[in-house]
Structure 1
Amino acid sequence: MKKIDLVYQTMLAELGQRSMDAAWTADFPPEGRFQRVVVKERSYWYFDLPDGSGGKSRRYVGPAEDDEITRRVETHQRQKDDLLARRRMVSSLTREGGMIAPDTMSGAIVEALASGGLFRLRGVLIGTVAFQTYAGLLGVRLPAAAILTGDADIAQDYAISREVEDTLPPIVDLLQNVDPSFRPVPHRSGSIASSAFQNATGYRVEFLTSNRGSNGYIDQPASMPALGGASADPLRFLDFLIKDPLRTILLHKSGVPVTVPDPARYAVHKMIVATRRRTDGLSAVKRDKDIRQAEVLFEALYETRRASDFAIVFEEAWQRGPAWQEALQKAANSMLSAEGQDALNRIRRQGNMEIGLDPPEDIPLGT
């Protein structure tokens, strides 16, 4: 797997810092004030902004235990936003550096949601649009066949949405500012709530959340107070995927700061969800892409010396019980290609050695 030149990896880091500074200044102008608030014995940062009539509006910022957020609060000041320079950096990274820009629609949608506050409210970009950012995060060139998409998937933890006491502007308005043809998709349960939105060309934006236990929640949209009127579909295994997400940059226009799953978690999660898809129609196409993306990440994580990261999250998934073990075994034994099985064997063997686990003999691969 070809690595991206260090010059461009360094440029991405610089772009990320500049883009995050610009987004921070837009969200939290100098005339406002940060406040530390304790909610259920945990400390969070909020931002109070005068509303011009003697009152104030309050925005959620994030947990006080997040060192990056706290550092920015402590050094809050207006940052110079060099928009043109950042656009040139994005162009260099995608045209010369081997990194990946999203398609125009995906980029515009994520930009609109980010500007509305999605990632400030701890939303996580998942699916193929998130996968596209891993070229920059891992410093490797990703194959084009693994990055094509026609949708955008967004996740938010249910408890976070209930507790932040802040919300996006109406989701319909944000999406229609990108394309006026976006409309809510009727939910399969018959509920009046919508967790998905689609435009006239079939591009779909879907909101997901972690399942809260009983399978009775699976077919019902969850009310998400922070999502601007959108609900979210509860999804098994999603809590594993969005645990400890990473900040990075989506290479659209001048760079859009986003939050994405850890790539090791993404790879393990794709193995699991591939086993839950049907074997016909569009579901089969998505299953094949799940497996291809997982295989690409096995190789990329191994080549970039992140085998221990993979071994840790694989072991975490394995310890979650028989249903998880069955899914991982099924994916490994009957869904991966021969090359994918070899890559999985290699990264697990190396990763287990690095973290002090026994060699991975529990799953008989190569069959």
Structure 2
Amino acid sequence: MQKIPHTYQTLYSELAQRSLDAAFTSEFNVNGRFITAEVRGRRYWYFDLPDDEGGKKRTYVGPVDDAQITKRVENFKDLKADIRERRKLVSTLVREAYLPRPEGKTGDIVQALAEAGFFRLRGVLVGTVAYQCYPAVLGVRLSSTSMVTGDADFAQFHSISVAVDDKMPPVLETLKAVDTTFREIPHQADGRFTTQFTSRSGYKVEFLTPNTGSDEYGGRPAPMPALGGASAQPLRFLDFLVHQPIRAVLLHGAGVPVNIPSAERFAIHKLIVASRRRTDNDGTAKSRKDRAQAATIMEAMIEQRQTADLADAFIEANDRGPAWKEAIRKSMDQIEDDTRVRILTALAGGIRKLERDPAEFGIGEAANITSG
């Protein structure tokens, strides 16, 4: 894999910081003030803005123990918008560093939802659009063949959607501002709820949430108070993916600040879902794409000496139970032999450093890995 020159990694870090600062500034009127409040034993920042009737509108900002958010609260009056300069940074990173830029409509949709507050409300961008962020995050160029998509997936924990005590504007209106042909798709299990939206061209936007209960809830839409009238489709294994997401920037426009899964969780989750894809319609093709994305990210992390993080996520997923372990094994068995050997050999070393036995996870010595 080809590493991204340090100069461009530094430019990306600068863009990330400035994009986050600008997004924070644009959302909060200088006539308002920040306050803290305790919710379920944890303190959060809120922004109070006086309204025309003598009352106030309260907006959720984020946890007080998030150092970056608290720093921006403290420096609020000094933050300036610099859209033109950030556009130049994005253009440089795309043209000179060959970092991926999303297709225009995808970028517009993510930006619209970002400006509507989705990521401020601790939502997470998942799927292939999130994958497009990892080259800059990992500092290596990843295969572009796994970056093509015709949809965008967004996730949020139901508990967070309830706890933040804030909500986005209506999602359908937000999407229609990008493409007037967007419409709701009534949920098959209960037509009163919508988890998916589609445009006339077939572009699909879907909202997801972890299903941490029994499988019977997987088919029912989950009402999400923070999502502007949208519900979310509960999915098994999603809680592992969106736990402790990281901040990144989608290279669109002047840079769109987003939350994405950590690279190691994204890779391991892709192994799990790849083995559970249905074989009808395009399930087989999606399974291949899942495995390709997982293998590419794992090799990139190994090359960048981030094996310990990868091994830690691998151990956590396997320790979740037999179904998780079997799903990971099935997908690993279908990865090309040479690639699989490199990954498993590195994982074995990482697992040992974490004082666990690779044999617990079906990983033998490097010479025997190919037989698995």
CA distance in 2 between counterparts of 1:250 and 1:256 reads 5
Give 2:96's aligned residue.
Answer: 96
| Residue 211 (structure 1) aligns with | 211
Q: What residue number does 1:320 align with?
A: 320
Give the secondary-structure state (helix, strand or coil) at the position aligned to 1:228.
coil
- Deviation at residue 332 of structure 1 after TM alignment: 1.7
Cα distance in 1 for partners of 2:65, 2:18 equals 23
Secondary structure in structure 1 of the residue aligned to 2:177: helix
Amino acid at match of 1:355: L
Contact persistence 1:122–1:156 (CA under 8 A): yes
Mapped pair 1:337 → 2:336: yes
Query: Scaled by the length of structure 2, what TM-score is found?
Result: 0.96
Q: CA offset at residue 307 of structure 1?
A: 0.3
Supply the distance in 1 between the matched residues of 2:361 and 2:10 (Cα, whole angstroms).
Answer: 40
Deviation at 1:361, TM superposition (A): 6.0
C-alpha separation in 2, matches of 1:107 and 1:340 = 32
What percent identity do the matched residue pairs reach?
48
Q: Tell me how far 1:78 sits from its aligned partner.
A: 4.2
Counterpart contact for 1:154–1:207, Cα < 8 Å: yes
- The answer to whether the 8 Å contact 1:51/1:57 transfers is yes
Distance in structure 2 (CA, Å) of the matches to 1:267 and 1:2: 19
Identify unmatched segments of 5+ residues in structure 1: none
Which amino acid is 2:259 matched to? T
Distance 2:20 2:173 in 1: 24
User: How far apart in 1 are the matches of 2:346 and 2:24?
Assistant: 38
Pairwise CA distance, 1:77? 1.5
Structure 1 residue 251: Cα displacement: 0.2
- Assess if the C-alpha contact under 8 Å between 2:212 and 2:239 holds in 1: no
Q: Which residue of 1 aligns with 2:162?
A: 162
Structure 2 residue matching 1:218: 3-state secondary structure? helix
3-state DSSP of counterpart to 1:308: helix
C-alpha separation in 1, matches of 2:241 and 2:192: 28
What SS is found at the alignment partner of 1:77?
A: helix
* Change beyond 3 A, Cα 1:360–1:343: farther
Bigger CA drift: 323-332 or 158-167?
A: 323-332
SS at match of 2:201: coil
CA-CA distance at 1:69 after TM superposition: 1.2
User: Does the aligned pair in 2 maintain the 1:209–1:233 contact within 8 Å?
Assistant: yes
Aligned to 2:48, what secondary structure does the other structure show? strand
Deviation at 1:360, TM superposition (A): 4.8
Which shifted more, 119-128 or 142-151?
A: 142-151
Q: Aligned with 2:257: secondary structure?
A: strand
- Of stretches 175-184 and 349-358 in structure 1, the one that deviates more from structure 2 is 349-358
1:1-367 alignment runs, 5 A limit? 1-333=1-333, 335-360=334-359, 362-364=361-363, 365-366=369-370, 367=372
Number of residue pairs matched? 366
| Contact residue 315 and residue 351 of structure 2 kept, 8 A | no
Q: Determine the C-alpha separation between the residues in 1 that align with 2:95 and 2:251.
A: 11
